[in-house]
A and B are shown apart, each in its own frame.
Chain A
Amino acid sequence: MVLVMSDSLAINTLRSNEFNRYSRQIMLNDWGEAGQLRLKNSRIAIVGCGGLGSVVASYMAGCGAGHLTLIDGDDVELSNLPRQLTFDIDSCGQNKADELMQRLYAQNDEVDIVIEPLSIDSDNVQELLQVHDLVIDCTDNFSTRLLINQWCVTNQVPLMTGAVIGWQGQLLLIEPDANNGCYQCLFDTPNDSGQSCATMGVNPAMVGVVGSYQANQALRYLLKLSTPLSNKIALVDGINMGVNLLTREPNAQCAVCHPILKQE
């Protein structure tokens, strides 16, 4: 069972310094004070604090998303620095979640940040992801992506997943009860033999592009605004500067979401 903050515990006012800090986003017609309060009361788990995760987390903290959980068991390496811009040479050898938290607090000390400096697995996934309004998958391997997808679908927690390799990116949002299929509906049998940044390479700037798209659509979801990723997968093409939106449908043979649909 997933526990979320009840409305009675939610903060329903902004302080004057918050109005000042967030003034440029609050002035947007579809953001406003109500949207800022939604962000302030949101609990977001960011799994993976590398390229995508550091971009997404920076925007979430900067925008005032109130409660962030940063999950990553890896340490910063020299080969991370071209695309993981929140880290520097002194970060090498330090845990990514810990380093990122320190940078985010320097950016905005009004958000609550919890770090989990460990790799997510089937034994700890429940403990790490429960009590969140949105899980953002920024991990770097298929097995972890499938695990997170399975947990989120089973526990009906929204999942925003993003991936990047070479000059390409992929983004999708899996919402409970949307019946638009899950990650495993699309990719049923991936393995970890390739298709990661370490094995295939990546253009550092594409990490920024895809991470920014991911943060943008996550913010729209948290603000209860429309996002095409609810029922589509976005293929981001960094060569021709295009985004191809493809409509998703549930796979009747999906081992993850089809049994849940049948129960309802």
Chain B
Amino acid sequence: MSTNLSSQVLVNQVTPVDIQSGVSTLSDIMNFLALESNAVAIAVNNVVISKSTWSQHTLSDGDNINVFGAIAGG
């Protein structure tokens, strides 16, 4: 019997990302997925995380991550 010990988060409901060495914080996720961080906000489990703490925010298995950009149309 095999056991899957990897931890995984889901980005914008469609992109699973394994938490691994070098990919454990919100900043790591943005770099890993090569996402633009300018004018972008991130919520983890429906709570927006300040950009100033992205590099310290450690991800947990099953976290639901929502990356969204500012829009300006009116």
Contact = CB atoms under 8 A, between A and B. Distances in A.
A190 B74 contact: no
* Interface pairs A-B: 3 shortest CB-CB: A190-B39, A187-B70, A197-B73
Nearest to A50: B74
Nearest to B40: A187
Given A186-B48, A248-B48, A249-B47, A195 B66 contact: no
Contacts of A51: 73-74
B50 A195 contact: no
Interface string A11-53: 0000000000000000000000000000000000000101111
Given A165-B73, A187-B40, A249-B48, 9 more contacts: A51-B73, A140-B72, A145-B72, A165-B71, A189-B39, A195-B39, A197-B73, A246-B47, A251-B51
A247 B46 contact: yes
B73 A187 contact: no
5 contacts: A163-B71, A165-B73, A186-B48, A187-B40, A187-B41
B2 interface: no
The range of chain B's interface size is 20 to 34
Contact of B41 (A53, A186, A202): A186
Contacts, number: 97
A246 B48 contact: yes
Nearest to B68: A235
B38 interface: yes
A186 B41 CA distance: 6
A246 B43 contact: yes
Contacts of A196: 72-73
A252 interface: yes
Interface in B58-74: 66, 68-74
Given A142-B72, A163-B74, A165-B73, A251 B52 contact: yes
B50 A251 contact: yes
Nearest to A169: B71
A52 B74 contact: yes
A170 B73 CA distance: 10
Given A189-B39, A190-B38, A233 B48 contact: yes
Contact of B74 (A53, A186, A252): A53
